[in-house]
Structure 1
Amino acid sequence: MKRLLLMLLGALVACASPSAQEKGGLVPLRLDEAALSTAYAPRRIALLVGISEFQDPQWRNLRYSEKDATDLAAALKDPARGHFDQVRMLTRPEQTTRAAILSALHELQREATRPDDVVVVYFSAHGTLARDGQGELRRYLVTQDASYRSISQTALSMDVLKAEFDKLPSRRRLLVLATCHSGSGKSLLPKELEAELTGIKSGFYARPLEESSRASMVFAACDWGETAREDEGLRNDIYTYFLIEGLNGKADRNMDGAVTATEAHDYARRRTFAFTQGRQRPSAEILEVGADPVVLSGSINRTGRPELFSYNPRLDGFTLKVDGEPRTELPGGTAVVPGKRTVELTKGDAVLVRREIDMTAGERLPLEELLSDTFPRRSLALVGGVFSFVDGKSRAELLPASPEVAAVLRLEDKPLQDFALLLDVGGIRGQHRLKLAPGSEVPFGYTRLSVGVGMPYLWRWDRLSLYAGPRVAALYLRRSFQVEAFTGGQNYFTVSPGVVGGMVWRLGDRLELTSQAQVMLTYVVVDGQGQAVGFTGGWAGMGYRF
């Protein structure tokens, strides 16, 4: 064993030798800073698919799908516009089969491995609807080898396409679908399904385009149930034509030198809507975190003008007015001059929001924030529950678990944003018996009051709010005895620290369900002896926002 240790020690010494003749010797490491920055710089990658020809003659050929992909590729590769590092086009018949497209998506997943990579995936093709194996109505992209009579087995399901898109590690990804499923334009439906849908009232399948994953964007050339169109005069898919036109700089609404994905889509959406006289409304599913992360053209070389925007379905159809001037119909956005601006959200003669805000250069304000400010942030709740000392000895000698009623006032975002100020008052009166010894009980009456103040942190998701934080409470307890050995009362008052947590579920703009629990630590004197005890309470009830 000793010999083995000596051999290992000798090997380590040899590896640490500075001799250049030996393997494992330490050598100076020189890194070129410019080369290192280039190696780790975010890449800009695009996969563009244009499907014009189809094996099955039931699918009519499209005139401009291949040109759509070619024209968009030219804009993205242009050093003066998109300056993308890699643009791959799939337009030949053997490149646009279902298997070939999935293979290209898998390859893209292996290439775009960095979170900051900008990835654009674009399709110009037929779209259609069909029943899947479970009879559910699904959207499909008509690939080159798709069979008209077995769509669900041969075409590319939009659900599968979206799932592959979501596997991309990039946080800056954009999927553009220049296709539709309405039965005309760039779409065809099997006649039996077309007949079935004519008997369905609108709303059955008028659902959002796709579900968006975090930091991803999905743009579509038309809304659900509408038609995407090619145009002989433009010699392109209409939406694609205006999308490319926007990349030339026309879509740079905040004038910062770059055209972002949302700017390009908003420009193409407005121009497409006007060009088709309202018959085609491009749609989008967008979830932004902070600034728009996908720059499609140019580069940000100066601080842009402030922007107001919304892609929340709740605001669809509302008109955004700034200083009394209509700017855009939502979803979408607009840039404004820095300074104090009067912002309105209107629909017809109804005004949902009117606020004066001070906008600074470079600021991007989601209009949902203005909307949330219109909801009442104060709540008064009447609740009922249970009060109890934590340990069994205190419950036996002081007071058992007992019911109580309380009122809770909650002021949200007071005194700080995302915090709440809680004020509660609770108490109860009742009768109980104190067990002094086996078979011996002493009746007594009690009065208990508590006043608490808390400042918990708020977590809010749509209708649900959770909160947790510190609380301080004053507790008053009085016990009254009427027995032969003793007649009188015992009073106790203390101020106790603790924690509070709760949950709120909004039923509407005014009513809510609420629950709250707290754990406190206090010091009480029983029969001349002091002791630290904990007490807790749990409440539930109905609140009203005002």
Structure 2
Amino acid sequence: MKKPNHIHAWLLGLGLCLGLQSVWAQGQTYAVVVGIADYKALTYQTGDLRYADQDARRVAAFLASRGGGQVAPARLRLLTNQQATGAGIRSAMKLFTQAKPTDRIVLYFSGHGLTDSFVPYDVRPDDPASLLTYADIKAAFRASAAGVKLCIADACLSGNLTRPVQPTAQSAKATRMTASGTNVAMLLASRSTQMAVEDKQLLAGTFTYFLLKGLQGEANSDRDNVLTIKELHDYVVPRVRKLSKGKQSPVFYGRFSDTLPLAYF
């Protein structure tokens, strides 16, 4: 998310997946939805955000709706502000291990982002281990047997999530987010060098605003009963680029069919 330059520099010196899909014909959705506007170590003057927590609530509401798959409360974790600690998010992602091959998992994060991490509520500037790293997320995804895995991030520099983790003995298994035969998609607010901005007129993160509008039906260009990932891409990307005057370009990346369904009507 956009923040004052000095705060962005401070965060960089330390070192931020909707509905997504809505429903397949069968299977369940397991979702972890995170939004942090009010950080423990920050104020609005020093880097807090305006709408990230509200965006997360809207995403959770969509997932609980008919169009979002009517995800049951037992399969949905919503963490906002002080709930969204590093430990809290990692614990919530254990939900994904309950998914079966016919199921879907969804991670949505809205908040501050770095080149290799998302920033949880309780980040400490002197402790890089307090960050939620991309390796953490990829390991959680890989540990799930779900047949569809979606990571949506409305965070600065989130395009870096497409890069493989540097291979080491401990991280080699976490470099990929999916096993063979699994659909995985990353819907990211910006390229690897770009900010992800909030908009005062939209009262939302620009990316999340258009993402939800698209999922709720506006992206359904052929007016059938299914919204595909390609339709969502073709709706979201040009609108975010236009509103940001080319300064923010969302990234849809992964291994999936263009016809992967994300919502039903």
TM-score range, shorter chain: 0.7 to 0.9
In structure 2, the partner of 1:57 is 42
Cα separation, 1, equivalents of 2:230 and 2:143: 22
Letter in 1 for 2:124: S
In structure 1, the partner of 2:86 is 98
Larger Rg: 1
Letter in 1 for 2:214: G
Alignment RMSD (CA, Å): 2.3
Tell me, yes or no, if structure 1 residue 298 matches structure 2 residue 264.
yes
Letter in 1 for 2:92: A
1:6-17 map, 5 Å:
none
Compute the displacement of 1:99 (Å): 0.5
In structure 2, the partner of 1:45 is 30
Aligned residue among 70, 79, 99 for 1:84: 70
Compute the displacement of 1:159 (Å): 1.9
Cα separation, 2, equivalents of 1:167 and 1:84: 24
Compute the displacement of 1:207 (Å): 6.6
Query: Where do 5+ consecutive residues of structure 2 fail to align?
Result: 1-24, 165-176
Letter in 1 for 2:31: A
1:57-456 map, 5 Å:
57=42, 60-79=47-66, 81-86=67-72, 87-93=76-82, 95-106=83-94, 108-112=95-99, 114-129=100-115, 139-150=116-127, 152-181=128-157, 209-211=162-164, 213=178, 214-288=182-256, 290=257, 292-293=259-260, 295-299=261-265
Equivalent residue of 2:125, what SS?
coil
CA deviation map 1:315-346 (0-9, x unaligned): xxxxxxxxxxxxxxxxxxxxxxxxxxxxxxxx
Q: Determine if contact 1:209/1:284 at 8 Å carries over to the other structure.
A: no
Q: Determine if contact 1:98/1:155 at 8 Å carries over to the other structure.
A: yes
- Normalized per residue, the structure richer in helix is 2
Cα separation, 2, equivalents of 1:237 and 1:49: 14
Cα separation, 2, equivalents of 1:68 and 1:145: 20
Equivalent residue of 1:127, what SS?
coil
Equivalent residue of 2:114, what SS?
strand
Cα separation, 1, equivalents of 2:61 and 2:229: 17
Cα separation, 1, equivalents of 2:258 and 2:207: 24
Equivalent residue of 2:186, what SS?
strand
Compute the displacement of 1:148 (Å): 2.0
Cα separation, 2, equivalents of 1:236 and 1:210: 27
Q: Determine if contact 1:53/1:144 at 8 Å carries over to the other structure.
A: yes
Q: Determine if contact 1:219/1:285 at 8 Å carries over to the other structure.
A: yes
Give the TM-score normalised by structure 1. 0.38
Q: Percent identity?
A: 29
Letter in 2 for 1:209: T
Equivalent residue of 1:296, what SS?
strand
- Normalized per residue, the structure richer in strand is 1
Compute the displacement of 1:291 (Å): 6.0
Cα separation, 2, equivalents of 1:102 and 1:162: 11
Give the TM-score normalised by structure 2. 0.76
Cα separation, 2, equivalents of 1:285 and 1:78: 26
In structure 1, the partner of 2:14 is none
Q: Determine if contact 1:76/1:297 at 8 Å carries over to the other structure.
A: no
CA deviation map 1:252-276 (0-9, x unaligned): 1343311133422331112101111
Compute the displacement of 1:45 (Å): 2.7
CA deviation map 1:22-52 (0-9, x unaligned): xxxxxxxxxxxxxxxxxx9411232210011
Equivalent residue of 2:68, what SS?
coil
Letter in 1 for 2:56: A
Q: Measured at CA, do residues 171 and 278 of structure 1 come closer, stay the same or move farther in structure 2, by a change above 3 Å?
A: same
Between 276-285 and 247-256, the greater mean CA deviation after superposition:
247-256
Q: Determine if contact 2:97/2:143 at 8 Å carries over to the other structure.
A: no
Cα separation, 1, equivalents of 2:204 and 2:111: 12
Compute the displacement of 1:153 (Å): 1.7
Letter in 2 for 1:239: F
